[in-house]
Amino acid sequence: MFDLTRSKEAFKHALELLPGGVNSPARAFGAVGGNPIFIDHAEGAFLFDVDGNRYLDYVLSWGPMILGHGHPAVIQALEKVIKTGTSFGAPTLYESRLAELVIEAVESVEMVRFVSSGTEATMSAIRLARGFTGRDKIVKFAGNYHGHSDSLLVAAGSSAATFGVPNSPGVTAGTSKDTLVLPYNNPNALFDVFEKCGSEIACVIFEPVVGNMGCVPMNPEFRDALTLVRERYGTLLLCDEVMTGFRVAYAGAQSVIGIKPDLTTFGKIIGGGLPVGAYGGKREIMKNVLPAGKVFQAGTLSGNPLATAAGIATLETLKETNPYPELELLGDKLEKGIMNAADKHGVKLSANRLASMLTFFFQEGPVTDWDSAARSDTKKFADFFWSMIHQGIYFPCSQFEAMFISAAHTTQDIDRTIAAAENAFKSL
């Protein structure tokens, strides 16, 4: 068992300074119990905590470290930029170059606006959709997470029209009244709502592969239903690729799923591990954003040189090295190896995976939406999580989060992880 004394002391101190001792809820380990682990540094596929323990990292800062931690190209780009200044509040060449890379990669994107977070990207894209269509209502899906802006922090209501109700104190009923919440991967529910009020719906926001109820890919029938309601009712499709963009494929998850949205949001990888977000789409829509149009959005740190330089280095490296075939092989090996180990020891387990993004659910499955994901045995997951931690394997600290593989992971790392999982299953 690892010694976590310094992490425990650090958390006790942080509790006096930060709400819950953290700056984002998932970091508190509330879903698995115990104290969070404080990280000192990272290198390649590994994390090192303040107690000196080393972990093989499958969280990767919740996705963006696709090249691994401290990739030389990213570090070199940051070292170059930091000597010239970290923020100007004025245009730089870095912004245009990163925009070029995104537009070249993603077929549905013709123009881009950079912001500083995924939350800011989705919030701004929804405002743009409303401004462009002149409509107020939006549709989202239960279990899809699009950041913490008020209109998206809603749960499904009990009324037949599925109007959202606030699920966080501080979010007003007025803010959430125009958000409709539907089950994911359910074409019939989508058609029903559009038959009732389709002409009032500005956009449908969705994740092509959900990451915050575990990894849940969109099924083909649901994809076709989204395309149909756009054609029939003139609503916009807003694809949230903050987590999946450049992760499951260089051209985005939309290229794998086979859907062409009107607007797309990005984050994570396009900042190379630094705070960043973006929204983009058809030129006729994006030209409605101020100062080209009248839809307001601004930010002093939007497109800052550090984040854009790191993003350029990351995307150019991905383009040049194309790690995606190898990531697919590693993902397949990890999925099959852990599923076989679970079956060997009689542990009920199912897996969802798309490329280097996957989740193991402690249930028989299948998992296709939030209701089915919620049937997972979270107690068993917590026991599994801590067993893996004590063997030096860092998995996401919630049953309902996706895990990721980086280009820095090796076949030997996957073998080690499978062996650790088998040891964990023995104790379960």
HEC per residue, 227-295: HHHHHHHCCEEEEEECCCECCCECCCHHHHHCCCCCEEEEEHHHHCCCCCEEEEECHHHHCCECCCCCE
**Cβ neighbours, 10 Å, residue 147:** 18
In total, the chain counts a number of residues equal to 428
CB 137 within 8 A of CB 202: yes
Task: Tell me the average pLDDT across 47-54.
Answer: 97
Q: Pull the structure tokens for residue 207.
A: 């994740």
Interacting residues of 23 by C-beta distance below 8 A, sequence separation 6+: none
Model pLDDT for residues 245-303, shown as the tens digit of each residue: 999 999 999 999 999 999 999 999 999 999 999 999 999 999 999 999 999 999 999 99
**What are the extents of the domains in the chain?**
5-66+323-427, 72-321
Please, what CATH class does the domain formed by 5-66+323-427 belong to? alpha beta
Q: What are phi and psi of 324, to 5 degrees?
A: -65, -40
Task: Tell me the average pLDDT across 41-54.
Answer: 98
- Kind and range of the H or E element at 47? strand 46-49
For residue 138, pLDDT beyond 90? yes
| Active-site residue (options: 55, 145, 279, 324) | 145
pLDDT of residue 164: 58
What amino acid occupies position 18? Answer: L
Q: Got the DSSP string for 148-203?
A: S-GGGSEE--SSTT-B-EE-STT--HHHHTTEEEE-TT-HHHHHHHHHHHGGGEEE
DSSP secondary-structure letter at 69? Answer: B
Active site residue 324: no
User: Model confidence at 171, in pLDDT bands (50, 70, 90)?
Assistant: confident
* CATH classification number, 72-321, choose in 3.40.640.10, 3.40.190.10, 2.40.50.100, 4.10.93.10: 3.40.640.10
| Active-site residue (options: 178, 268, 324, 380) | 268
Active site residue 240: yes
pLDDT of residue 158: 36
- Kind and range of the H or E element at 137? strand 137-141
Active site residue 268: yes
CB 262 within 8 A of CB 284: no
| Active-site residue (options: 49, 57, 178, 240) | 240
Phi-psi region of 92 (alpha: psi -120 to 50; beta: other; left: phi over 0): beta
Nearest Cα to Cα of residue 57 among 404, 290, 421, 418: 404
The dihedral sign for the CA sequence 402, 408, 414, 419: negative
CB 113 within 8 A of CB 282: no
> Strand pairing partners for 49?
39
Model pLDDT for residues 221-241, shown as the tens digit of each residue: 999 999 999 999 999 999 999
